[in-house]
Structure 1
Amino acid sequence: MAPVMEIMRAAFDPAYGEAWTSGQCAGILASPGTWLMIAELDGRPAGFALTRVIVDEAELLLIAVHPEARRRGIGVRLIAGVAEAARRRGAASLFLEVRSNNPAIALYTGTGFSKVGERINYYRGANGDLFDAHTYSLPLCP
């Protein structure tokens, strides 16, 4: 779990409070249908994706790429790997939820996700600012 936590600390801005603790990660990994995918760059962990499948829906719970490894296709490869693994596990769709001003939205839309929902003022930043949550979906056709 150490490489995941190192990437998490570097990748998530503390102003938004989105990083998970080691205990939260370990707890969700103990749930059925949940898995962790780690991407490497030059033999070192550079990114990860935490995903779960429930019946025929998959949810990308967390995805992060270390800032020093960004813009090298790691996020795209993680999403492709997650989508393929979810498809093999019987999922018909892959969902994710993201803060409305998160720059990763460009990654998601660039890999085929479409916005399907919105929760107004869902997230609260460390300074009390509120942010909408956007839900995105990617169909996983065979």
Structure 2
Amino acid sequence: MTRVIVSTGTAANIEAVMRIMDSAFDPNFGEAWNRGQVLGMMSLSDVWLILATPDDDEMPEGFALARLTIDEAELLLLAVRPEARGRGIGRILVEAVAEKARARGALRLMLEMREGNGALALYAAAGFAQIGRRRDYYRGRDMSRHDAITLARPLGIDPGLVA
């Protein structure tokens, strides 16, 4: 397996983010964000972008966008190019977000996803558990309705941060 380099992204990485998002999200569900939404969110001080790039390549294969609200972090977006799936990149991104969230004082990491999204197995393996459901939250292009599932993962407190 190729080693993956995790780095902090900036607005300068928007082309790579959009390339990954366009390939990773199923257009039938309308879950992908547009460039303006991503850049708008990235302009906030409590939001961070993480990129995952194989060390034998210059182009990122995955990204995660997250934010901190007081003592809770939210994983807003996570995407891995379909051609790069199955190599552990998604799990590396989840752990990188969790580490950064913990370092910023978050006690838990939350996310929301469409029921039926194949990434549920990734999140369950990474320690997330379902804590809520929003009925008929997502609507597909065919007007089908799908519940949103809210997941959370406790992060604990880093003993080095406690005085």
Q: Same fold (TM over 0.5)?
A: yes
3-state SS of paired residue (1:51):
strand
Which of 19, 29, 46 matches 1:33?
A: 46
Between the two proteins, what is the percent identity of the paired residues? 51
Partner of 1:22: 35
Alignment of 1:1-142 (within 5 A): 1-41=14-54, 42-43=56-57, 44-141=59-156, 142=158
CA RMSD of aligned residues (A): 0.6
Which whole-Å CA distance do the structure 2 matches of 1:46 and 1:63 have between them?
A: 11
AA paired with 1:106? A
Consecutive unaligned residues of structure 1, counting only runs of 5 or more, are none
CA deviation string 1:101-141 (max 9, x = no partner) = 10000000011000000001000011100000000000001
CA drift of 1:31 comes to 1.3
- Give the number of equivalent residue pairs: 142
Scaled by the length of structure 2, what TM-score is found?
A: 0.86
Tell me how far apart the structure 1 counterparts of residues 141 and 29 of structure 2 sit (CA, whole Å).
6
Stretches of structure 2 lacking an aligned partner (at least 5 in a row): 1-13, 159-163
Question: What TM-score do you get using the length of structure 1 for normalisation?
Answer: 0.98
**Structure with greater Cα Rg:** 2
1:8-47: per-residue Cα shift (whole Å, max 9, x none)? Answer: 0000010000000011000001112101001012322100
